[in-house]
Amino acid sequence: MAVETAGNQGRYRTVAIIGGGPAGLMAAEVLSQAGVTVDLYDAMPSVGRKFLIAGKGGMNITHSEPFDKFLSRYGSRQSYIKPMLDRFGPEALRAWVQGLGIETFIGSSGKVFPVDMKAAPLLRAWLPRLRVKGVSFYMRHQWLGWDDGEDRALRFLTPEGERKVSADAVVLALGGGSWARLGSTGAWVPLLAQRGVSVEPLQPSNCGFDVAWSEFFRSRFAGQPLKSVQASFTNSAGAEFCQPGELVVTADGVEGSLIYKMSALLREQIAVSGTALIYLDLAPDKDKQFLIDRISQPRGKHSMANHLRKRIGIDSLKAGLLREALSKENFDDPVHLCEAIKALPVKLLAARPIDEAISSAGGVTFEALDERLMVRSMPGVFCAGEMLDWEAPTGGYLLTACFASGRVAGEGVLAWLQD
């Protein structure tokens, strides 16, 4: 089988980018604007598939909160993420989106959205610009690894069979391990590990968790949103979480924005002790004594569930949760009942499978990369996006870091080519 040189023969420098999500496309933009020949490969029939799905319900591109608070969302990896955001942070990202002809606005929560709330118009504006700059796209190209151990000699499986490509530099932007049907399969992990690259195991992030609901509760309430609650959790190391919000009861457990915010802490606690215990305040705007006074009033012919609804606004889902946690005697006792309303224990047994998660933790460690995101042991090979070992909650943080890392990797390739 003949080995091709990526791109057209005779062009000065060629870079192969593997992965057509935000990180890979941003690296392609940086490189093509500098006059480098860019060939982008993706296993799927089209690029940006996870990006499009993520924006289907409202594309949250970034967040407007102060930079220090924004940076804190990256937890233990914020020192590695900061240099990327210093070069291409939330404000730069908003300006870049505007440069595509798409206006953004700040929502009531501080999240930043395109005015039409969709990802598709952004991608439709971006891809023609990349093509005009000379980026070539090769779809249905599944990366198989390296040819004969050469760092920049690549193998792909295509509909026409195996293809071998060589390039002057390579950017890997293959995503994490969530939503495999959209291309983020994590199949790259053993390929890098075999080359001695340090990779932390991929784990679910921004994910739901299993709870051992009774069959009655599951059949009655699965799929219903649990609104106006506050979740509290303290792990074995003393780290605390306490925030109001919403979650969703599922047939298997719980999911939703409030759970996603604490998913890293919960996942780590389950790894340490086997379970994680959270507490839900079902009436965060009312103190316990007020609740006791209201519930202690005569209920007449009303059931306790109706009494709770009429007196303190506890709906059927919240009443069902209370029945899951309390004995009949305690459910009928105002003091025990109100203690549970203010601190309802919910035991989480395990994170849901990674393919159900919004994103993943783990990946190529930052220690394996230099400040340009080049693999230290593989000169000319760079990594970007969710395949790096970091995680963040939803709210624009994931996308911002993916765009920023793609930009840093693209600039890193340019610097390396000039060395």
Question: What pLDDT, on a 0 to 100 scale, did the predictor assign at position 359?
Answer: 94
| 3, pLDDT greater than 60 | no
| 272, pLDDT greater than 70 | yes
Q: What is the DSSP pairing of strand 253-255 with strand 381-383?
A: unpaired
Question: What pLDDT, on a 0 to 100 scale, did the predictor assign at position 12?
Answer: 63
- For the stretch 151-210, pLDDT in tens is 789 999 999 999 999 999 999 999 999 988 888 999 999 999 999 999 999 999 999 999
- pLDDT tier at 148 (50, 70, 90 boundaries)? confident
| 11, pLDDT greater than 80 | no
Question: What pLDDT, on a 0 to 100 scale, did the predictor assign at position 7?
Answer: 42
The C-alpha angle with vertex 221 and arms to 219 and 224, in degrees rounded to 5, equals 140
Phi, psi of 278, deg, nearest 5: -105, 160
Burial class (CB in 10 A: 0-12, 13-18, 19+), 7: buried
Question: What pLDDT, on a 0 to 100 scale, did the predictor assign at position 6?
Answer: 47
| 1, pLDDT greater than 60 | no
User: Distance (Å, rounded) from C-alpha 142 to C-alpha 384?
Assistant: 18
| 102, pLDDT greater than 50 | yes
Query: How many contiguous H segments (helices) and E segments (strands) does the chain have?
Result: 16, 21
E strands present in 323-414: 344-348, 350-351, 359-364, 381-383
User: Distance (Å, rounded) from C-alpha 240 to C-alpha 296?
Assistant: 33
Let me know: does 384 contact 171? Beta carbons within 8 Å: yes
| 150, pLDDT greater than 90 | no
- pLDDT tier at 290 (50, 70, 90 boundaries)? confident
Q: Which CATH superfamily is domain 4-205+361-418 in?
A: FAD/NAD(P)-binding domain (3.50.50.60)
Alpha helices in 2-119, H assignment, sequence order: 22-33, 49-54, 67-72, 78-87, 90-99
Looking at the chain, the whole-number percentage of residues with pLDDT higher than 90 is 78
- pLDDT tier at 62 (50, 70, 90 boundaries)? very high
Question: What pLDDT, on a 0 to 100 scale, did the predictor assign at position 203?
Answer: 96
Lowest-confidence segment of 57-61, 336-340, 346-350, 414-418 by average pLDDT: 57-61
Average pLDDT of the segment spanning 321-329: 92
In the block, which residue shows the tokens 């000699």? 153
| 8, pLDDT greater than 50 | no
User: What residue segments make up the domains of the chain, in order of their start?
Assistant: 4-205+361-418, 209-351
Residue 180 Cα distances to 83, 169, 184, 353, angstroms:
30, 26, 5, 12
- pLDDT tier at 297 (50, 70, 90 boundaries)? confident
Let me know: does 386 contact 363? Beta carbons within 8 Å: yes
| 264, pLDDT greater than 50 | yes
| 387, pLDDT greater than 70 | yes
In the block, which residue shows the tokens 């799905």? 53
Q: What is the mean pLDDT of the chain?
A: 92
- For the stretch 210-243, pLDDT in tens is 999 999 999 999 999 999 999 999 998 888 999 9
User: Distance (Å, rounded) from C-alpha 49 to C-alpha 184?
Assistant: 10
| 393, pLDDT greater than 60 | yes
Question: What pLDDT, on a 0 to 100 scale, did the predictor assign at position 57?
Answer: 66
pTM of the model: 0.90
Looking at the chain, the whole-number percentage of residues with pLDDT higher than 70 is 96
3-state SS record for 326-360: CCHHHHCCHHHHHHHHHCEEEEECEECCHHHCCEE
Question: What pLDDT, on a 0 to 100 scale, did the predictor assign at position 9?
Answer: 39
